[in-house]
Amino acid sequence: MLPLARGVYGSLAQITRNSRLALHTASVVRGKAEAAAENEAPAENSEETAANAAPDAKDRTNKIPVETSIRYLKSAAYKTTYGDEFVWTQYRRNHKGMYAPRKTRKTCIRQGKISTGNPCPICRDEYLVLDYRNTELLQQFISPFSGQVLSYSKTGLCQKSHLRLTVAVEQARDCGLITYDVPFREYDYSEYYGKQEEQKK
């Protein structure tokens, strides 16, 4: 956490071009720390307090349950981090040259650790868990106009997260947790009534 924070504040002092991004990353980290404190306070586990002493911000071996994530999305910590915006709106990809590569990176997490300096919106916040029950998070990635899952070129998700997102959305639709416009079915009445009417005549 410390070196990362130092780096962040260093860049702040320099006021480089993407200082806004750095600010945001810092706020994500802060919000996460608050969420962690909120989450671990009632648990009072000896292991967790030990982890609290020297938390590694890049460690992703600890799996967060969905229920926690659902609570996090409603919490004040989430609100201070993201405000009213979507999880992905403030995220910017880092790339060489004018144009971003067509595909995003394969994965942000390798061997249980964040292996990149600019992890995707889902990977950077470990409290965002992609699951079919976490509808509030999934809704942020569905277009209100076409009802489709937004492309990774827009949201900046890494390929692995994007795959998990599409699977979760499909599962949620299957369970009826997310509504969508069902294709219109036109009935041919004669298929159900035709024969009997003929008999009457």
Partner 1 sequence: MLILRQLRKLNGQQRLQLGVEQTRRSMADAAQKNASFQYDKDPQPLFTDAETQRLLQSMTQLQLEKVFRKRTVPDNSTETKFMTTAQLEKEFLQTIEKAKKLLQMPPVVQIKQDTEHIISKDPALKDFADTKYVFTDITFGLRNSERKIVVRDADGTLAYAPLETRKRMNQLYFPLEGRRSYTPRMFTHDDLLQRCLDEHKYEFVLDRLTVQYEPYEAEFHNFSAKVFAHLNESKEFDLLRSTRHFGPMAFFYAWHRCIDDLLYDMIRRDYLHNAVELISLSYKIHQVPVDYKPILSQLEALKPTPAQRALAELLSCLKKPAENAIEHEIQTAIGKTEQDFAADEISLKFIEQYIGSKHALKKVQLELAVQTLKEVNLEKLQLYQGLKKAHGVQAS
Residue ranges binding partner 1 (CB under 8 A): 143-148, 174-177, 179-189, 191-193, 196-197
Minimum CB separation of residue 181 from partner 1 in Å reads 5
Please name which of 8, 4, 39, 21 lies closest in space to residue 129, comparing C-alpha atoms: 39
Closer residue to partner 1 in complex, CB, 111/146: 146
Q: What is the DSSP letter of 142?
A: B
Closer residue to partner 1 in complex, CB, 185/201: 185
Q: Is the dihedral of CA 51, 21, 92, 101 positive or negative?
A: negative
CA geometry: angle 178, 126, 117, nearest 5 deg: 120
Phi and psi angles of residue 167, each rounded to the nearest 5 degrees, phi first = -65, -45
Minimum CB separation of residue 63 from partner 1 in Å reads 24
Minimum CB separation of residue 200 from partner 1 in Å reads 9
Residue type, 69: S
**Rounded distance, CA 111 to CA 137, Å?**
25
Closer residue to partner 1 in complex, CB, 9/193: 193
**Rounded distance, CA 40 to CA 60, Å?**
16
Minimum CB separation of residue 122 from partner 1 in Å reads 23
Closer residue to partner 1 in complex, CB, 101/147: 147
